[in-house]
Amino acid sequence: MTQETGGFAALDLHPNIVAAVLATGYEEPSAIQQQSIPIILAGHDMIGQAQTGTGKTAAFALPILNKIDVSKREPQALILAPTRELALQVATAFETYAKQMPGVNVVAVYGGAPMGPQLRAIRNGAQIVVATPGRLCDHLRRDEKVLSTVQYLVLDEADEMLKLGFMDDLEVIFDAIPATRQTVLFSATLPSSIRSIAERHLREPKHVKIQSKTQTVTAIDQAHLMVHADQKIPAVLRLLEVEEFDALIAFVRTKQATLDLAAALEAKGYKAAALNGDIAQNQRERVIDSLKDGRLDIVVATDVAARGLDVPRITHVFNVDMPYDPESYVHRIGRTGRAGREGRALLLVTPRERRMLQVIERVTGQKVAEARLPGPQAVLDARIKKLTASLAPLVAEAEATHGQLFDRLTADLGCSARALSAALLRKATNGQSLDLASVEREQPLVPTFAARERSSERSDRGERSERGDRERRAPMPLAEGRVRCRTALGARDGIAAKNLLGAILNEGGLARDAIGRIQVRDSFSLVELPEDGLERLLTKLKDTRVAGKQLKLRRYRED
Ligand code: ADP
Ligand code: MG
């Protein structure tokens, strides 16, 4: 990204564009901007390959603004983007860069909003149209001439558009634009499907490839934690206790997982929401806005729902489910550490996924350090630190406003200042555990599989607790046709083997000899059950309670 001289001013862009860009706080063009802008200005077709966060938008927006004829009030540039969010982001960026170019009109065209106003905005003289392919095709069906004046075509995040199934729509759009156009294609990856589009629809394209992986990654502090699949949510909750984050995005693979994790986080008092393809477009947009302005701190998203989103507040990326390939790992963690900020990325790895971790390390050329699950002491310290931080500003002021009340209360209650303060603290902290013994009692042990190989979840004092040792004992081999199921109820919930046996016999309708060994640990229990008909049995036991608590029996996979 560095260069000796010139910066934006040396790029042959109109001074008003340069001024607007500098006014937004950009100092120097990024590598992709540096290389693409001259090529696009010169009128060449181009294929640009660069990771998320490298500044691709300005790489095409600036030269296009430079080229359009503001006096002509007709569509001249068409930008295609995979999702409504990205289309809006690109349209907003155009408006920012065009701040000092009066007469430039940008319209965003996407599904989920009425078509009429969009079409009117196009006809009313928008020179720049930013669209999702699906909705644009709907417009073309109504008015096949709507793109007949377009001279510049940009496919932004082309790989993502293909993943979303826009191939056919793209073909329709190519056909609706004059063949004399200039075409620019940006993509993070260049699979053969993209190369074949380029061969058919671009003319002698220049290639620009930015090897940004190591750059993207070095600003980000990365770590991984080995954990069993059924322990991910408790692991995330524990990690969050000690991570100091501003905003966080957690990636999972399925829609259901976005909902499950978001619900678990909300239950713990985090301002969290799910973001997935099933959520209505305008609701998705609200979620993103809320994350931007702090009404939300955590968004749990699938890759497609989060792709390309740019929220500078994001300090942390949690890869709760493993990405499908190393490139999408790089994309995901590129959501943090934006614009030179520091970021932190955490990756949960289940036993089966160990190899993928190695692939990621190889491709990014970096070791992803192993994180430890914080122990009770670390959790306690973090809680006290937060409490201290929340009190610090009050200590400076509250005496003036509440000092008299304090005197009156100590007098009325006939207690010491320390006794009253302690009472107020208990009230203010709302039952949160703030001493080591209670934190220890409250934190479920999260058995990690690194745990069984090495010493695993250690307490912060560096030694294994008695309890921990007992919990980590390797499970016994299973009999044929049996599987192990796990419940988070254990001895500390007042559970004994006979309670579990009774509940499963009564509510599950099993014969006594269908149930194998039952192992009750302090914070969980394992029960051996017949594999045959297991799903049905677990459904039957869905609402079963033992010792007043939900049994929530789940299949336990040891891998
Ligand atoms: P990409 O499309 O490659 O993922 P964007 O165009 O969305 O990247 O840009 C990522 C972020 O970097 C945005 O917040 C953008 O405002 C910022 N940015 C882009 N170019 C520059 C630059 N030259 N200097 C500083 N910040 C920039
Ligand atoms: Mg982009």
Residue of minimum CA distance from atom 20 in ligand 1? 55
Same fold, 7-209 and 471-555: no
Helix (H), strand (E) at residue 519: strand 518-520
Distances (CA, A) of 88 to 129, 258, 310: 11, 23, 12
Pocket probe mutation, ligand 1, options 26, 51, 187, max atoms within 8 Å of Cβ: 26
pLDDT of residue 424: 95
Q: How many Å apart are CA 215 and CA 53, to the nearest integer?
A: 11
Range among 120-124, 208-212, 309-313 rated most confident: 120-124
Ligand 2 mean position to 265 CA, how many Å? 29
Q: How many Å apart are CA 292 and CA 285, to the nearest integer?
A: 11
Q: Is the pLDDT of residue 440 over 50?
A: yes
Q: Which residues line ligand 1 (CB under 6 A)?
A: 26, 28-30, 33, 50, 52-58, 308, 310, 338-339
Q: How sure is the predictor about 542, in pLDDT bands with cuts at 50, 70 and 90?
A: confident
% the chain with pLDDT above 90: 54
In CATH, which superfamily holds the domain spanning 7-209? P-loop containing nucleotide triphosphate hydrolases (3.40.50.300)
Q: How many Å apart are CA 149 and CA 300, to the nearest integer?
A: 41
Helix (H, G, I), strand (E, B) or coil at 528: strand
Residue 171 makes CB contacts below 8 A (sequence gap 6+) with none
Indicate which ligand has the atom closest to the C-alpha of 97.
Answer: 1
SS (H, E, C) 147-198: CCCCCEEEECCHHHHHHCCCHHHHHHHHHHCCCCCEEEEEECCCCHHHHHHH
Pocket probe mutation, ligand 1, options 310, 313, 335, max atoms within 8 Å of Cβ: 310
Indicate which ligand has the atom closest to the C-alpha of 93.
Answer: 1
| Segment 397-428, tens digit of pLDDT | 999 999 999 999 999 999 999 999 999 999 99
Q: Where are the domains of the chain?
A: 7-209, 220-374, 377-441, 471-555
Q: Which DSSP symbol is given to 521?
A: -
Ligand 2 mean position to 58 CA, how many Å? 9
Q: Answer yes or no: are the C-beta atoms of 157 and 82 closer than 8 Å.
A: yes
Q: What's the distance, CA 196 to chain centroid?
A: 31
**Across the beta sheet with 482-487, what order do the strands follow?**
518-520, 525-530, 482-487, 554-555
Helix (H), strand (E) at residue 529: strand 525-530
Q: How many Å apart are CA 152 and CA 94, to the nearest integer?
A: 14
CATH code of the domain occupying 220-374? 3.40.50.300
Q: Which DSSP symbol is given to 210?
A: -
Q: Answer yes or no: are the C-beta atoms of 277 and 252 closer than 8 Å.
A: no
Ligand 2 mean position to 51 CA, how many Å? 9
Q: What is the mean pLDDT of the chain?
A: 86
pLDDT of residue 318: 97
Q: How many Å apart are CA 357 and CA 335, to the nearest integer?
A: 19
Q: Return the CATH fold of 471-555.
A: Alpha-Beta Plaits (3.30.70)
Question: Which ligand 1 atom sits nearest the alpha carbon of residue 8?
Answer: 23
Question: Which ligand 1 atom sits nearest the alpha carbon of residue 50?
Answer: 3
Higher local confidence (pLDDT), 366 or 227 = 227
Q: What's the distance, CA 84 to chain centroid?
A: 18
**What count of other Cβ atoms lies within 10 Å of the Cβ of residue 396?**
9
Q: How many Å apart are CA 385 and CA 337, to the nearest integer?
A: 24
E strand intervals along 324-393: 343-349, 369-370
pLDDT of residue 471: 38
Which of 8-12, 121-125, 257-261, 361-365 is predicted with the least confidence, judged by mean pLDDT? Answer: 361-365
Q: How many Å apart are CA 330 and CA 317, to the nearest integer?
A: 11
Q: Which DSSP symbol is given to 12?
A: -
pLDDT of residue 136: 96
Higher local confidence (pLDDT), 448 or 481 = 481
Residue of minimum CA distance from atom 12 in ligand 1? 55
Ligand 2 mean position to 86 CA, how many Å? 7
Question: Which ligand 1 atom sits nearest the alpha carbon of residue 27?
Answer: 24
Model pTM score: 0.50
pLDDT of residue 464: 35
Residue of minimum CA distance from atom 19 in ligand 1? 55
Indicate which ligand has the atom closest to the C-alpha of 130.
Answer: 2
Write down the residue that tokens 């100091």 correspond to. 244
- Surface-to-core class of residue 340, CB atoms within 10 Å of its CB (0-12 exposed, 13-18 middle, 19+ buried): exposed
Pocket probe mutation, ligand 1, options 30, 64, 79, 311, max atoms within 8 Å of Cβ: 30
| Segment 505-520, tens digit of pLDDT | 888 877 777 788 888 8
Ligand 2 mean position to 87 CA, how many Å? 9
Which of 110-114, 326-330, 537-541 is predicted with the least confidence, judged by mean pLDDT? Answer: 326-330
Write down the residue that tokens 């610090």 correspond to. 392
Burial profile 492-516: b = 16 or more Cβ within 10 angstroms, e = fewer = ebebeeebbeebbeebbebeeebbb
Q: Is the pLDDT of residue 253 over 60?
A: yes
Query: Of how many residues is the chain composed?
Result: 559
